[in-house]
A and B are shown apart, each in its own frame.
Chain A
Amino acid sequence: GIQVEQSPPDLILQEGANSTLRCNFSDSVNNLQWFHQNPWGQLINLFYIPSGTKQNGRLSATTVATERYSLLYISSSQTTDSGVYFCAVVRRGSTLGRLYFGRGTQLTVWP
Chain B
Amino acid sequence: KAGVTQTPRYLIKTRGQQVTLSCSPISGHRSVSWYQQTPGQGLQFLFEYFSETQRNKGNFPGRFSGRQFSNSRSEMNVSTLELGDSALYLCASSYLRGARTGYTFGSGTRLTVV
Contact = CB atoms under 8 A, between A and B. Distances in A.
Interface stretch (B14-22, B60-68, B69-77, B97-105): B97-105
Given A40-B107, A45-B103, A99 B45 contact: yes
Interface residues of A, number: 22
Contact of A98 (B48, B102, B104, B106): B48
Contacts of B102: 31, 33, 45, 48
Contacts of B31: 97
A97 B42 contact: no
Contacts of A40: 107
B56 interface: yes
Given A96-B55, A97-B48, A103-B42, A42 B98 contact: no
Interface residues of B, number: 29
Given A31-B98, A97-B98, A99-B45, A42 B106 contact: yes
B88 interface: yes
A41 B88 contact: yes
Nearest to A40: B107
Interface string A58-73: 0000000000000000
Interface string B21-60: 0000000000101010100001101001010000110100
B55 A48 contact: no
Interface string B85-104: 00010101010011111111
Interface of B: 31, 33, 35, 37, 42-43, 45, 48, 50, 55-56, 58, 88, 90, 92, 94, 97-108, 110
| A-B CB proximity, top 10 nearest | A97-B97, A48-B102, A43-B105, A101-B43, A96-B56, A97-B98, A42-B107, A41-B108, A33-B102, A98-B45
